[in-house]
Amino acid sequence: MKRGRQGDGRRLLIGAAVAALAFIQPGGAARAAGPSLQELMKARNLSEADVTAALKTYMPTGRFDDYYLFASGGHGGNIIVIGVPSMRILKYVAVFTPEPWQGFGYGDESDKLIESGYRHGHKLTWADTHHPALSETKGEYDGKYLFIGDKANARIAVVDLEDFVTKQIVQSNIIESNHGGTFVTPNTEYIIETSQYPTPLGGKYVPLDRFDEEYRGAMIFWKFDREKGRIVPEESFAIELPPYSQDLADAGKLVSDGFAFCNSINTERAYGGNLEGRPPMESGYSQNDMDYLHVIDWKKAEQVAKAGKTEMVNGFKVIRLPVAIQEDLLHFIPEPKSPHGVDVSPDGKDIVVAGKLDTHATVYSIDKIKKLIAEKKYEGKDAYGVPILSFQDAMRGQVEIGLGPLHTQFDNKGNAYTSVFIESTVAKWNLKDLKMIEKIPAHYNVGHICAAEGDTVSPDGKYLIMMDKWSLDRFAPVGPLLPQNFQLVDIDAEKLQLLYDMPLPLGEPHYAQMIKADKLKPIEVYKPVGMNPLSGVKDKFAVEGGKERIERQPDGVHVYMTAIRSHFKPDIVRVKEGDTVHLHITNLEQAHDATHGFALDAHNIQLSLEPGEHANVTFVADKPGVFPMYCTEFCSALHLEMAGYFLVEPKEASSAKAAK
Ligand code: CUA
């Protein structure tokens, strides 16, 4: 299939915009039959700005978008893939939660994958996906893998961008929630996950009055094996942190490579108790004028972990806080009030922190930080003995941003963009001289923002997404629960221009990353036929055409089935009440998009069999009856005929028959 025109898409669009705007001038170019553009604009009440915006986002049929946007699905527990600039939804990727279309959580291997994320022996069918992180090589997105964290249950997942399928879910079992995750180091050596709400490490019970002594945070470094495409828990480690409610994190790059940074929002060590005579969390967390930016030397920490200076906590390797201090792994720098975002500039020199309760973006200099650390120039220590560097000495400067600044992204012209939550704007400012340039209104309560490759060593400029938390008055009413709103902004235009509002009606997408479309090379079909996407190899139960069969074995009835337009073979399966049934189904197709589904009535079974894919599902046929099975993808003109019967013969009938 022909790939859409990509790189030149933008130039074409601008050309089209110019042509169209010329067209709408009085006495412009010759008009086509039907209403003129002017008449259309009048009829639809559109301004010239509206028309330019439309021309900058419109994708004619068959044309592909220039960028992929990977957004977390929030409490949908998934990832949303969106084309930019059209803002067309391309896919939902099931991650932590069952998803019927993809058959995720309805077959043996995906069931096992979801179960691997169960915690404390509890079945979990939801997650709160927050920060997606594309894999990087030398600080550039490489389009190979995508990682995502589950804030609610402190888990991390790995998605392979070859087929957009979740391959692995890991959990440290030492923390209970995360927020500063996922962020990758510049060569994806590690995936960073930082705890949010302090708890006793390892999941044991400790009363709240032991908060200062026994509650802790942690920054976890998950080792990634790029060859295998999997996290290696045995080679991963954590650094124990004081119970300061660590917030967002980022990895250093170029000159700051080797460092990781994270905020903390609760150096007060408040833990609520508004029914017990203590201040509520929100005021307890907001007493101090300064919290602590954490500066962590992960390259040194890696050596410390390798040297075995760790303790196993609930099966996970932890560098204890006193060791981290002794080994010079952890330093604090004061940061203004209740910070949220920490973002490293493309050249790696600046670390930008914005505080929810402070009107500035504070820019720290890695050169200054390194010097202070090397000279051991501390202005004091915190209650746990962590050395504190001077705010004034580590800072390069501050920019007055507005009320409630949060997150910062970058473009290719030396500009930074900071979301301003309370004010509902995005501020564009110059990184070099820390001068405010321009603000664009957001509608409204903008949280994260995402610029094209805007957190890499070479941002693209072009587009920025404002991820708005509230959307009232923007879309047709749909009852009290409203979607989120992604607003697409042209940041290459002379003046920032809002192009498009997109409702996101499934969870609260929290953060997103935008990657050039031509960096991704997804496969079209699974090869060889019989491939199991979750194991990555040809399945041992893969079925060849002509070798379909039903076998009764000691562990139950094995059904070796194939799917091809437009039948399942066998299309009649007979088992006996109480039998354990193992369905092994291979889609023999190798044609692009020739997906078959497999649904079985009343057994909660729905598989998606992409071309070449093999899937297994095991269940007990515990109720006698006649159960239709059918294909759930409209695969051909005879799709409705792609069906069969699954018959469960009653016990009595079979024993009566046997007695005869
Ligand atoms: Cu196969 Cu419909």
Overall average pLDDT of the 477-487 stretch: 96
Whether pLDDT at 121 is above 90: yes
Would you say the CB of residue 633 lies under 6 angstroms from ligand 1?
A: yes
Q: Which residue carries 């209403």 as its tokens?
A: 35
Whether pLDDT at 40 is above 60: yes
Q: Ligand 1 centre from 558 Cα, in Å? A: 22
Overall average pLDDT of the 481-503 stretch: 96
Would you say the CB of residue 642 lies under 6 angstroms from ligand 1?
A: yes
Q: Where are the beta strands (DSSP E) in 337-430?
A: 339-344, 350-355, 360-365, 380-381, 387-388, 395-400, 405-410, 415-420, 425-430
Q: Ligand 1 centre from 175 Cα, in Å? A: 44
Taking the CA of residue 633 as reference, the ligand 1 atom at the shortest distance is 2
Q: Collapsing DSSP states into helix, strand and coil, what is residue 46?
A: coil
Whether pLDDT at 10 is above 60: no
Of 20-34, 331-345, 589-603, 643-657, least confident by mean pLDDT is: 20-34
Whether pLDDT at 32 is above 90: no
Q: Ligand 1 centre from 445 Cα, in Å? A: 45
Overall average pLDDT of the 3-14 stretch: 43
Higher per-residue pLDDT: 283 or 411: 411
Q: Which residue carries 């295998």 as its tokens?
A: 228
Contact 52, 497 (CB under 8 A): yes
Higher per-residue pLDDT: 655 or 40: 40
Q: Collapsing DSSP states into helix, strand and coil, what is residue 324?
A: helix
pLDDT tens profile 126-170: 999 999 999 999 999 999 999 999 999 999 999 999 999 999 999
pLDDT tens profile 435-454: 999 999 999 899 999 999 99
Would you say the CB of residue 639 lies under 6 angstroms from ligand 1?
A: yes
Confidence (pLDDT) at 654 = 56
Taking the CA of residue 630 as reference, the ligand 1 atom at the shortest distance is 2
Q: Ligand 1 centre from 532 Cα, in Å? A: 19
Taking the CA of residue 566 as reference, the ligand 1 atom at the shortest distance is 1
Q: Mean pLDDT in the chain?
A: 93
Whether pLDDT at 406 is above 80: yes
Whether pLDDT at 12 is above 60: no
Phi, psi of 198 (to 5 degrees): -60, 140
Confidence grade of residue 81 (pLDDT, cut at 50, 70, 90): very high
* DSSP result, 186-229: TTSSEEEEEB-S-EETTS----GGGHHHHEEEEEEEEEEETTTT
Residue 417: burial class (beta carbons within 10 Å; 0-12, 13-18, 19+): buried
Taking the CA of residue 595 as reference, the ligand 1 atom at the shortest distance is 1
Would you say the CB of residue 596 lies under 6 angstroms from ligand 1?
A: yes
Q: Ligand 1 centre from 584 Cα, in Å? A: 17
Q: Ligand 1 centre from 565 Cα, in Å? A: 6
Q: Which residue carries 């003129």 as its tokens?
A: 36
Q: Label each residue of 275-290 as H, E or C.
A: CCCCCCHHHHCCCCCE
Confidence (pLDDT) at 658 = 52
Confidence (pLDDT) at 521 = 96
Q: Collapsing DSSP states into helix, strand and coil, what is residue 377?
A: coil
pLDDT tens profile 323-380: 999 999 999 999 998 888 899 999 999 999 998 888 999 999 999 999 999 999 999 9
Would you say the CB of residue 631 lies under 6 angstroms from ligand 1?
A: yes
Would you say the CB of residue 635 lies under 6 angstroms from ligand 1?
A: yes
pLDDT tens profile 186-245: 999 999 999 999 999 999 999 999 999 999 999 999 999 999 999 999 999 999 999 999
Question: Residue 217: which residues within 8 A CB-CB, separation 6 or more?
Answer: 175, 194, 195, 196, 198, 240, 241, 242, 243, 244, 245, 246, 264
Confidence (pLDDT) at 9 = 41
Question: Residue 331: which residues within 8 A CB-CB, separation 6 or more?
Answer: 294, 295, 369, 372, 373, 386, 387, 388, 389
pLDDT tens profile 284-338: 988 999 999 999 999 999 999 999 999 999 999 999 999 999 999 999 999 998 8
Q: Ligand 1 centre from 398 Cα, in Å? A: 60
Would you say the CB of residue 517 lies under 6 angstroms from ligand 1?
A: no
Confidence grade of residue 26 (pLDDT, cut at 50, 70, 90): very low
Would you say the CB of residue 131 lies under 6 angstroms from ligand 1?
A: no
Q: Ligand 1 centre from 377 Cα, in Å? A: 69
Q: Ligand 1 centre from 636 Cα, in Å? A: 6
Would you say the CB of residue 634 lies under 6 angstroms from ligand 1?
A: yes
Q: Label each residue of 336-355 as H, E or C.
A: ECCEEEEEECCCCCEEEEEE
Q: Ligand 1 centre from 222 Cα, in Å? A: 41
Taking the CA of residue 596 as reference, the ligand 1 atom at the shortest distance is 1
Contact 124, 197 (CB under 8 A): no
Q: How many residues comprise the chain?
A: 660
Confidence (pLDDT) at 23 = 47
Would you say the CB of residue 610 lies under 6 angstroms from ligand 1?
A: no
Whether pLDDT at 542 is above 80: yes
Taking the CA of residue 639 as reference, the ligand 1 atom at the shortest distance is 2
Confidence (pLDDT) at 356 = 81
The distance from CA 199 to its chain's CA centroid, rounded to whole angstroms, is 24
Whether pLDDT at 660 is above 70: no
Element (DSSP H or E) covering residue 317: strand 316-319
Whether pLDDT at 563 is above 60: yes
Q: Which two tokens stand for residue 141?
A: 């997105």
Report d(CA 573, CA 217) in Å as an integer.
54
Long-range Cβ pairs for the range 394-398 (8 Å, 24+): 394/333, 394/364, 394/365, 394/368, 394/369, 395/362, 395/363, 395/364, 395/365, 395/368, 396/350, 396/363, 396/364, 396/365, 396/368, 396/434, 397/363, 397/434, 398/360, 398/361, 398/362, 398/363, 398/434
Answer whether 0.85 is exceeded by the pTM.
Answer: yes
Q: Ligand 1 centre from 236 Cα, in Å? A: 44
Whether pLDDT at 423 is above 60: yes
Question: Residue 444: which residues within 8 A CB-CB, separation 6 or more?
Answer: 424, 468, 470
Report d(CA 224, CA 631) in Å as an integer.
38
Overall average pLDDT of the 553-564 stretch: 98
Residue located nearest, by CA, to atom 1 of ligand 1: 596
Q: Ligand 1 centre from 627 Cα, in Å? A: 18
Overall average pLDDT of the 53-60 stretch: 97
Report d(CA 157, CA 168) in Å as an integer.
5
Contact 550, 646 (CB under 8 A): no
Question: Residue 229: which residues within 8 A CB-CB, separation 6 or more?
Answer: 144, 145, 158, 160, 167, 536
